[in-house]
Structure 1
Amino acid sequence: ETQEQVTEIAKDVKAAGATLMRGGAFKPRTSPYSFQGLKEKGLDFLKNARAATGLPIVTEIMSPYMVERFVEDVDLIQVGARNMQNFDLLKELGKTNKPILLKRGLAATIEEWLMAAEYIMSEGNENVILCERGIRTFETYTRNTLDVSAIPAVKRLSHLPVVVDPSHAAGMWWMVEPLAKAAVAVGADGLIIEVHNDPEAAWCDGAQSLKPDRFAKLMGDLRGIANIVGREL
């Protein structure tokens, strides 16, 4: 939203133990009239926050034509759910050596998700991280339905790491904490958790964002669960 806001949140989450910072410089939205991100200006905000904190940055790519810029500026390139089967984009990313965060499609089966990853790897880039972010089901109470069972399934079927985005799955901040704990308990290799210093005034997705103090407390709880199941956080 602003340089000050991005940098402030980056400092807060790093202090709590975060190891990466994701921000939506380019934001695909269901409605063409919704906020679409600040685009190149937003990417500059993220780069400046990285310079201030040392946190590597993650942001979503929308087009094959942006690959060169993303390879230069972004540490981990995200392919969003809507682009999971954008095969031209996947193949172009496969020609790079940048790590790719591949989100599961809105209604993708596990096999379709893994085959999308194969499109990247078949071009030579094996640095792929899978992200479970909830799928579309008949249930409308939550934004999506988090498929916790996908985590052990992917672990059995693939060598790829899998992270979970409980924020986007639930769409409600008060569900993020229990879903994050469940993800760690069943073997997730990482979590993407949305944090905002003023969620009520957020330009996008404020309803699913934690405030920095709640995020810090959650990180402490997650470390305890990770220790119980023999993982490190």
Structure 2
Amino acid sequence: MLILFEKDYTKAQLEHVMEKVKATGCEPHLVHGLFKVTINIIGDDTRLDPEIFKSYEGVEDVIAVSKPFPLVGREFKPEDTVVRTHNVTFGPNHFVVIAGPCAVESEEQTLRIARAVKKAGAQILRGGAFKPRSSPYAFQGMGVEGLKILDIARKETGMPVITELLDVRDLDDICNYADIIQIGTRNMSNFSLLKEVGKTRKPVMLKRGMLATIDEWLMAAEYIYHEGNTQVILCERGIRSFDSKYTRNIVDLSAIPVIKHLSHLPISVDPSHATGRRDAVGPMTLAALAAGANSVMIDVHDDAESALCDGAQAITPHLFEGIMAGIRNLSKALGKELT
């Protein structure tokens, strides 16, 4: 249930209604939207009488919520959420390009790629310091040393950094060295981890689980939002199918308009991990932009054949320049700003 307040409500009226909600055993979640101040009632609100709350001074309306993700749903917040980090904006009429190596391998490698993607027009640097791998014998990342290298690249290029969090024990280090926390596909349903990043005030990019429905994805985002962190970006990174012979996953582009309809959160697409092949990254990037995505995240490596992680999907800096040219042309046609 949502309680909408009149434009000229008073603080005393708001506090009165919140106390009434608490008295029912439910939890009031207050959100100051662009146009409305709203209380979302968390808990079993089926026994509450909307007419009683409508009668309180300062209340404009009471709306029933039909979705299991009330905080990240459009019913709760009709206007689009805007997430900002430094001078980069995720939101309506903006398109953000995130690029960099799948894994931080060395300071020299990371700086070379960071300079190249910055020159081509990327706004945010990606790089994995902690790598979730299917095999325990595969390269697992450089850990905190990798974070320090990303910090060096950030200071040199001025680009904000996004990197993946695998373990809550690394949260403080990632918050110190990164600007956006990435929750990967394997941790989308790690609810204790989602709660902890929800307690931070860092932007969080939540990747869709490889077997997750859209409802499950949005309910995972609800965990973060419920803890108070409203800076959430969704990321479609491909879902498993019966045929993995030619692509790693299916890029669910239909999820973009569906998410836009169901939720107010910005959405990004990772065409690199979704397809697993470099020749598909460019077409899927432009398709994501055309479908309404707010961002893409692209793996770039200057020596993909020797990459320690996912070399088959990494594109060269030269190919990335070509993709950026296509993004600029299409963004202009769609009226979107590259920021």
Same fold (TM over 0.5): yes
Match for residue 219 of structure 2?
Answer: 115
Separation of aligned partners in 2, 1:128 and 1:155: 14
Look up the SS of the partner of 1:181 in the other structure: helix
Deviations 1:150-178 (A, max 9, x none): 01110110010000000001101001010
| Aligned: 1:55 with 2:159 | yes
| Aligned: 1:99 with 2:172 | no
Match for residue 186 of structure 1?
Answer: 291
| Aligned: 1:203 with 2:312 | no
Whichever residue aligns with residue 274 of structure 2, its letter is: A
Separation of aligned partners in 1, 2:169 and 2:241: 33
Q: Which of 140, 143, 155 pairs up with 1:36?
A: 140
RMSD: 0.8
Match for residue 192 of structure 2?
Answer: 88
Match for residue 157 of structure 1?
Answer: 262
Q: Which of 125, 147, 150 pairs up with 1:46?
A: 150
Look up the SS of the partner of 1:102 in the other structure: strand
Question: Bigger relative contact order, structure 1 or 2, given CA contacts below 8 A and separation 6+?
Answer: 2
Q: How far 1:70 sits from its partner (Å)?
A: 1.7
Whichever residue aligns with residue 208 of structure 1, its letter is: Q
Q: Which of 25, 29, 37 pairs up with 2:129?
A: 25
Look up the SS of the partner of 2:230 in the other structure: coil
Match for residue 170 of structure 1?
Answer: 275
State the 4+ residue runs in structure 1 displaced beyond 3 angstroms: none
Look up the SS of the partner of 2:206 in the other structure: strand
**Any gaps of 5 or more consecutive residues in structure 2?**
1-104
| Aligned: 1:128 with 2:224 | no
Separation of aligned partners in 2, 1:151 and 1:209: 23
Look up the SS of the partner of 1:97 in the other structure: coil
TM-score by length of 1: 0.98
Aligned length: 233
Separation of aligned partners in 2, 1:126 and 1:149: 24
Structure 1 or 2: more helix by fraction? 1
Look up the SS of the partner of 1:15 in the other structure: helix
Deviations 1:122-164 (A, max 9, x none): 0000000000000001121211110000011101100100000
Structure 1 or 2: more strand by fraction? 2
Separation of aligned partners in 1, 2:114 and 2:227: 33
Whichever residue aligns with residue 197 of structure 1, its letter is: D
Whichever residue aligns with residue 229 of structure 1, its letter is: L
Contact 2:247–2:276 under 8 Å retained in 1: yes
Q: Which of 214, 220, 225 pairs up with 2:319?
A: 214
Deviations 1:160-198 (A, max 9, x none): 000000000110100101011100000110110110011
Separation of aligned partners in 2, 1:217 and 1:178: 11
Contact 2:144–2:173 under 8 Å retained in 1: no
Separation of aligned partners in 1, 2:218 and 2:198: 14
Separation of aligned partners in 1, 2:316 and 2:175: 31
Separation of aligned partners in 2, 1:200 and 1:65: 33
Separation of aligned partners in 1, 2:115 and 2:260: 32
Separation of aligned partners in 1, 2:297 and 2:318: 16
Look up the SS of the partner of 2:163 in the other structure: strand
Q: Which has the larger radius of gyration?
A: 2
Separation of aligned partners in 2, 1:114 and 1:74: 24
| Aligned: 1:143 with 2:263 | no
Match for residue 13 of structure 1?
Answer: 117
